[in-house]
Amino acid sequence: MLTTRRDLLAAGASAFALSALPARAAVAGPDAAAQALLADMAEAMLADAPETASGLGLDTGARAPLKSRLGNKTPAGQAQIAAHVKDRLARLRGIDLAPLSPATRIDVEVVRTAHETAAGGFAFPFGDMAIMNSNWSYRNSPYAVAQNTGSFVETPDFLDSNHVIKDTADADAYLARLSAYAANLGGETDRLKHDAGIGVTAPAFLLDKTLGQMQAVQALPLDQWVPVASLGRRTKDMPGDYAAKAQAIVHDRVAPALAAQVAELTRQRATATMDAGVWKLPQGEAYYAWALKAGTTTTMAPEEVHQLGLDQLAALQSEMDGLLAKLGMTKGTVGERMTAMGKDPRYLFPNSDAGRQQILSFIDGRLADIRTRLPRAFATLVPAKLIVKRVPLEIEAGAPGAYAGAGSIDGSVPGNYYINLRDTSIWPRYSLPTLCYHEGIPGHIWQGEYTYKLPLIRSLLAFNAYSEG
pLDDT tens, position by position, 377-390: 999 999 999 999 99
Residue range 73-132, pLDDT digits in tens: 999 999 999 999 999 999 999 999 999 999 999 999 999 999 999 999 999 999 988 787
Kind and range of the H or E run holding 402? strand 402-405
Give how far Cα 51 sits from Cα of 63, 69, 399, Å: 12, 8, 20
| Other residues' Cβ atoms within 10 Å of the Cβ of residue 105 | 17
* Segments in 131-167 forming alpha helices (H): 151-161
Q: Tell me, what's the pLDDT at 388? A: 95
Q: At what angle do helices 255-269 and 168-197 cross, to 10 degrees?
A: 20
* Segments in 198-225 forming alpha helices (H): 204-218
Give how far Cα 386 sits from Cα of 115, 116, 164, 436, Å: 30, 33, 16, 11
Altogether, the residues listed in the chain come to a count of: 469
First-to-last C-alpha distance (Å) of the chain: 35
Distance (Å, rounded) from C-alpha 245 to C-alpha 175?
8
Q: Tell me, what's the pLDDT at 469? A: 75
Residue ranges in the chain modelled with pLDDT below 70: 1-28, 133-139
Query: Which of 154, 152, 177 has the alpha carbon at shortest distance from 261?
Result: 152
| Other residues' Cβ atoms within 10 Å of the Cβ of residue 412 | 10
* Segments in 219-299 forming alpha helices (H): 226-234, 242-249, 255-269, 284-296
For the beta sheet containing 415-419, the strands, ordered from the edge strand earlier in sequence to the opposite edge, are 386-390, 415-419, 402-405
**227, burial (CB in 10 Å: exposed 0-12, middle 13-18, buried 19+):** buried
Kind and range of the H or E run holding 115? helix 102-122
Q: How many helices (H) and strands (E) does the chain have?
A: 20, 3
Query: Under a CB-based contact definition with an 8 Å cutoff, are residues 424 and 401 in contact?
Result: no
* Segments in 278-352 forming alpha helices (H): 284-296, 302-326, 334-342
Q: Tell me, what's the pLDDT at 139? A: 62
Half-sphere exposure at residue 341, Cβ-oriented, CA atoms within 13 angstroms: 21
Query: Which of 421, 407, 416, 419 has the alpha carbon at shortest distance from 449?
Result: 407
Distance (Å, rounded) from C-alpha 70 to C-alpha 284?
31
Give how far Cα 14 sits from Cα of 4, 8, 104, 355, Å: 15, 13, 16, 50
Q: Tell me, what's the pLDDT at 134? A: 52
Q: Tell me, what's the pLDDT at 392? A: 86
Distance (Å, rounded) from C-alpha 135 to C-alpha 119?
21
Buried b (16+ CB within 10 A) or exposed e, 147-183: bbbbbbbbbbbbbbbbbbbeeeebbbbbbebbebbbb
The bridge status of strand 415-419 relative to strand 386-390 is parallel
| 3-state SS, residue 141 | strand
| 3-state SS, residue 99 | coil
The bridge status of strand 402-405 relative to strand 415-419 is antiparallel
